Amino acid sequence: MKNFYPTLLLIFLMVFFIGCQNQQSALDQKIDQVLDTAVYQYNYMANRLPDDRFPKTYHKANDELETSDSGWWCSGFYAGTMLYLDQVFESEMFWPEIENSLKQLEKEQFNTSTHDLGFMMFCSYGHANRLKPNPAYERILLNSATSLASRYNQNAQAIRSWDSAPWNKGGEDDLVVIIDNMMNLELLFWASEHSGDSRFSEIAINHANTTMEHHYRDDYSSYHQVTYDENTGQVKLQITNQGYADESSWARGQAWGLYGYVVMYRQTKDQKYLDFAKGIADFILNHPNLPNDKVPYWDFNAPDIPDALRDSSAGAIIASALLELSTYTDGDYFNQAEAMLETLLSPVYIAEKGTNGGFILKHGVGNMPNKTEIDTPLSYGDYYLVEAMVRYIDLNSNK
């Protein structure tokens, strides 16, 4: 039996929260409550999860926890969420489960068939190495960065996302790149810093610049997918795969881009990336179809607004990115992130203990056109929600 929620810890948390509530804002109290729920939920999930599997989503109708193997793009979020929880509680309550998860992920360091190694390895091993520096973790991360860099195409100056296939309209000489790939560049910057090899950061910078030029419209909204001729680097298609339409603004795609360019500024201190991140943030926050409670519809141009489904995972990613962005620039970004968190941490979106398959966040949307993971919990929704809470706590403590 995996049990990382000991009675003494529960008693401590209850006493601590009750003692502090009079000094806390309403949002601070919500964060405390949701973090307590998160610990319970991930203990509950761990007890249901086979040792060699990773949580993917949950099917309420038959109480089924859908899982994946280590090769699925979301595999790193499970360990990453638990690492954030151990960090915020200054404990090692999840460490046995984290170690098991990392062991199952280890072989993916040599996986050259995916662009998602940042999600898979940096969101897991990256945090593990940050909290518990380990030469073995560093080697795994460097190997992962090398595998990711192997997908770089010099002609297009971009990293291949998906291999060409009929479902993504990619042909024999096509290079398919999706906006999600901006999230994997942080691994490359880490690799340059820790290896001294500037090739990794040069690839990241080139990819970000190419994405700025070809993924983005004048209003700072993003296409989901751009297809290049891999021999010439010329743009062949600007389309969607998970959004409503080619010219629509898929919410999670906008979130990935915002987060990615905030990271680009953090890593390079190049003003153009900060300006670009602000442009994306302002597009999102000023969009007439952004609801008053700040949690976006799954696509900003979904045809059935205001009855369209919300995507809580996009909201969590945006909130986390805005909190970091607020540390680099003036503006209302911190307050906007607070407003998003206020909604996301409400009972509408936060599961009750012992429900939701152990996931924290409800009402995510994975792939609407493909009719998969619709109005359901998602592992990356949990990860970025917990990250946003940790960032909010850190910013308030620094203040």
Catalytic residues: 116, 180
Cβ partners under 8 Å of residue 394, min gap 6: none
Q: How many CB atoms lie within 10 A of CB 65?
A: 19
Contact between 199 and 242 under an 8 Å Cβ cutoff? The reply is: no
The span from the CA of 187 to the CA of 180, in Å, is 14
Amino acid at 134: N
Asked if 280 contacts 260 with a C-beta cutoff of 8 angstroms, the reply is no
Hey, which bits of 20-111 come out as E strands?
54-59, 64-68
Asked, as a colleague might, if the bond just before 55 is cis with ω within 30 of 0, I would say no
Q: Report the amino acid identity of residue 234.
A: Q
Contact in structure between 38 and 83 (CB atoms under 8 Å): no
DSSP string for residues in 95-115: HHHHHHHHHHHGGGGG--S-S
Name 94's Cβ contacts closer than 8 Å, sequence gap at least 6.
4, 42, 46, 82, 83, 85, 86
